[in-house]
Every structure is written in C-alpha cells, then in structure tokens.
Amino acid sequence: MKNFFRLIFGFIISLILGLLFMGGIDLDDIKFRKNIKKLKRESWFRELSDNGIYYEKIYQNQEFQYYLRQDNIVEKVINDEKERSYLISLIK
C-alpha cells in the first residue's frame, strides 16, 4: 500500500514539474542528480567525474543513469566493492 501511494505521489509530482518546466525535468532526473551529488563525496568518484573523458559518459550514458536511479544504490556502491566495480565499468 505504501508503494502505491509513493507511486501516485511520484506521478503527481512529475506531472506538476512537467507542467512547470515544460517537460524539462522529472523525478528520475532529480533522483539521478541527487545520487551523483552523494557519490561526489567519495574521492574515487570525484576523480572520475572531474575527468573530462568520463564526465560525458556519466551524464550521457542511459544505462548508467538508469542504474543510478535505483533506490539505495549509492549506499550499496559505497559499501560493496562488487557494486562499485560494476558502476565504474558502466563509466569506462
């Protein structure tokens, strides 16, 4: 039931943001940017994101963006070496 309300709430917010920004921003984009901000606290990710070669891959790779939109993925990446390696493989 909680997930249902969360889904409905997300849809309504997306609709409102879409109307306000004429489709230029949505909840997935907000979640992606929020997770990027969290990852930039980690030195290994900051080095990748500050590198011009990987910067474009981070922000243009659809598979990477989809992966980073998952719930609690940042905590998994920070705490699990296997998840971190997978994230880095999506960038490189």
Give me the DSSP letters along 31-79. HHHHHHHHHTTSHHHHHHHHSHHHHHHHHH-HHHHHHHTSTTHHHHHHH
Q: Residue 44: inside a domain, yes or no?
A: yes
- Residue 20: the pLDDT is 67
pTM given for the model: 0.68
Number of domains in the chain: 1
Q: Residue 1: inside a domain, yes or no?
A: no
Q: Residue 3: inside a domain, yes or no?
A: no
Q: Residue 65: inside a domain, yes or no?
A: yes
Of the pLDDT bands very low, low, confident and very high (cuts 50, 70, 90), residue 12 is: confident
Q: Residue 43: inside a domain, yes or no?
A: yes
Q: Residue 31: inside a domain, yes or no?
A: yes
Of the pLDDT bands very low, low, confident and very high (cuts 50, 70, 90), residue 9 is: confident
Q: Residue 16: inside a domain, yes or no?
A: no
What is the span of the domain harbouring residue 64? Answer: 25-91
Using an 8 Å Cβ cutoff, are 85 and 44 in contact? no
Of the pLDDT bands very low, low, confident and very high (cuts 50, 70, 90), residue 21 is: low
Q: Residue 49: inside a domain, yes or no?
A: yes
- Residue 22: the pLDDT is 62
pLDDT digits (tens, 9 = 90+) for 29-73: 888 999 999 999 999 999 988 888 888 888 888 999 999 999 899
